[in-house]
Structure 1
Amino acid sequence: MPEPVVITIPHRLGKEEAIRRLKSGLASAHLPFVTIDREIWNGDLLEFSLTGMGHKASGSALVMNDSVRLELVLPWLLQRFAELALKGLASRTKLLLEKK
C-alpha cells in the first residue's frame, strides 16, 4: 500500500469556523484535472475520494483549533505526482481558510 503524503496547514479561525468554510468551499473547489467524488464528515474529520487523470485516490482532513492536517494516498502510478497533487489541494484549502 502506498505511503500517504501529509501536510499541515495553519489557520487562525478556530475549529468550528474552519470546518464551516471547508464544508461550504469543497463543493465548489476547482482543481485542474481533479474531481472530488465523495466527501464524508465525521465531526472534525473529513474523509474524501477523488479522481485525477483517470485514477482514484483517497485522503482525509483533520481540522484542529489552529491547523488542518491533510493526508493524501495516491495509487502507485500517481506517486510521482503526490507532492504536486498535495500542493494543489493545500493551496485550495489555504484559500478557504484565509481570514476575511
Structure 2
Amino acid sequence: MGQPISVDVPHKLGAAEAERRVRRGFGVIKEKFGDKLSAVDVVWGEGRADLTITAVGQTLRGALEFLPEAVRVTIDLPWFLAALGSSVVGRLAQKTAEVLRLPPPKA
C-alpha cells in the first residue's frame, strides 16, 4: 500500500485556463522526460486529469484537479518512494507552478 500525498498549487488563472496550460505543459514534460519514463497515461476528464506514470520499475497513480484558484495534485506514492514524500511534493509543486507560468496556448 502506498502513501497518498497532496499539494495545492495556487494560481490566478481560473480553472479552465489552468487546465489548458497544464495540458500544453504536459506535452512539454513528456518530451523533456519521456526517455526516463517507461509509460505515461493521462485520462482527461471535466476539470481533472487522472495519471498513471511508470518509471524506475515503480508505478505512480494520481490526479490533477483544476480548481478556480489552485491545481490540486494528488499522488499515491508506492512504498519504495514513500520515504521521499516531502521532496516529491516539493518537485510536484515546482513543476506544476512552472507549467502554470507558461504563456497561454494559442487558440
TM-score by length of 1: 0.86
Please report how far the alpha carbon of residue 81 of structure 1 lies from its aligned counterpart in structure 2 after TM superposition: 1.6
Q: Is 1:96 aligned to residue 75 of structure 2?
A: no
Identity of aligned residues (%): 25
Could you list the runs of 5+ residues in structure 2 that have no partner in the other structure? none
Distance 1:34 1:51, change over 3 A: farther
2:28 counterpart SS class:
coil
Could you list the runs of 5+ residues in structure 1 that have no partner in the other structure? none
Number of residue-to-residue matches in the alignment: 100
Q: Which amino acid aligns with 1:16?
A: A
Q: Which structure has the highest helix share of the two?
A: 2
Tell me if the contact between 1:10 and 1:67 (Cα under 8 Å) persists in the aligned partners: yes
The structure with the largest alpha-carbon Rg is 2
Distance between the aligned counterparts of 1:49 and 1:83, measured in 2? 20
Structure 1, residues 24-77: CA drift from partner, whole Å, max 9, x if none? 11121145x953611111111111011233211111010001001110111111
Aligned position for 2:7: 7
Alignment map for 1:1-100 (pairs within 5 Å): 1-29=1-29, 30=32, 35=37, 37-98=40-101, 100=103
Distance between the aligned counterparts of 1:34 and 1:41, measured in 2? 22
